[in-house]
């Protein structure tokens, strides 16, 4: 198994957390997004020119999209489970995850920031405010849901780590790269800090990967 990865990619961070939690150690290959390596040979791996991509030992086209990869890992390596057993619980975990994966993160990725500053000629401040706006909105939504629902426990859903926690930690770390903190969102903050005490999650952190630099 081979993971295409880069320290700065939050979507890849999610998959690294899932792999670590499942005790899987794939070969890795680095795609330096800041140097534009996704536009080179990598596009034959993933035509969307996004990471992560996961090549299976059996060969064939790589898996892509972090949620699809995490669902694959869950089905193929069921221990420890990263989804609850009951249907409603699974829907809640997936719903919380998609708040991050669909409604927040895609609005702040490099191609969007580049379009804002290069095509629309917006200022760096306007771009930054755009990112902050959607990150704060997502964190507020997550805080509202997590503080409302009795299913919230030590983690997003009960007392075991799920894909929702993986997505939440990715959201928090990604937001921190744009100076958006989680202090105003106490339930989010509590769960993120609890997650970061887990070694499998902590060592997947972007700033612990080769080549990592404190974001400008």
Instruction: Between 86 and 197, name the residue whose CB sits nearer to a copy of itself.
Output: 86
CA 169/CA 158 separation, integer angstroms:
16
- Our CB check for a copy of itself shows the closer of 112 and 196 to be 112
Query: At 177, is the secondary structure helix, strand, or coil?
Result: coil
Complex with a copy of itself: residue 9 or 65, whichever CB lies closer: 65
Question: Can you spell out the DSSP letters for 22-85?
Answer: HT---EEEE--GGGTGGGTTHHHH-TT--S-EEE-TT-SSPEESHHHHHHHHHHHS-SS-SS-S
Q: Which is nearer to a copy of itself, 94 or 205 (CB)?
A: 94
Q: How far is the CB of 203 from a copy of itself (least distance, A)?
A: 25
- List, in order, residues 6 or more apart from 118 with CB less than 8 Å away: none
Q: Which is nearer to a copy of itself, 59 or 210 (CB)?
A: 59
**Based on CB atoms, which residue is closest to a copy of itself, 95 or 181?**
95
Smallest gap from residue 213 Cβ to a copy of itself (A): 26
Helix (H, G, I), strand (E, B) or coil at 215: coil
Nearest approach in angstroms of CB 27 to a copy of itself is 18
**Nearest approach, Cβ of residue 187 and a copy of itself (Å):** 13
- Residue 128 CB-density burial (10 A; 0-12 exposed, 13-18 middle, 19+ buried): middle
CB 55 within 8 A of CB 2: yes
Residue 43: how many other CB atoms lie within 10 Å: 13
CB of 110 to a copy of itself, least distance (A): 13
User: C-beta of 16: minimal distance to a copy of itself in Å?
Assistant: 17
Both tokens assigned to 15: 């998959």
Return residues touching a copy of itself (CB under 8 A): 47-48, 50, 56, 58, 60-61, 63-69, 71-72, 75-76, 87-88, 90-92, 94-95, 97-99, 101-103, 105-107, 112, 115, 119-120, 122, 126, 130, 133, 141, 144-145, 148-149
* Dist. CA 184–CA 171, nearest whole Å: 14
């Amino acid at each position: 198994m081979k993971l295409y990865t880069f320290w700065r990619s939050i979507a890849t961070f999610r998959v690294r957390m899932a792999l670590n939690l499942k005790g899987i150690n794939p070969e890795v290959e680095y795609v330096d997004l800041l140097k534009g390596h996704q536009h080179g040979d990598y596009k034959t791996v993933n035509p969307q020119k996004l990471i992560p991509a996961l090549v299976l030992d059996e060969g064939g086209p790589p898996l892509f999209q972090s949620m699809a990869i995490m669902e694959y890992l869950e089905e193929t390596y069921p221990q420890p489970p990263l989804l609850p057993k009951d249907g409603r619980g699974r829907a809640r975990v997936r719903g919380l995850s998609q708040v991050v994966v669909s409604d927040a993160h895609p609005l702040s990725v490099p191609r969007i920031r580049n379009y804002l500053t290069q095509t629309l000629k917006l200022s760096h401040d306007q771009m930054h405010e755009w990112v902050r706006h959607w990150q704060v909105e997502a964190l507020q939504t997550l805080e509202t849901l997590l503080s409302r629902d009795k299913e919230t426990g030590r983690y997003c859903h009960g007392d075991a780590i799920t894909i929702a926690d993986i997505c939440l930690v990715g959201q928090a770390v990604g937001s921190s790269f744009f100076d958006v903190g989680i202090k105003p969102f106490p339930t989010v903050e509590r769960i993120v800090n609890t997650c970061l005490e887990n070694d499998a999650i902590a060592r997947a952190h972007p700033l612990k990967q080769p080549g990592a630099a404190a974001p400008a």
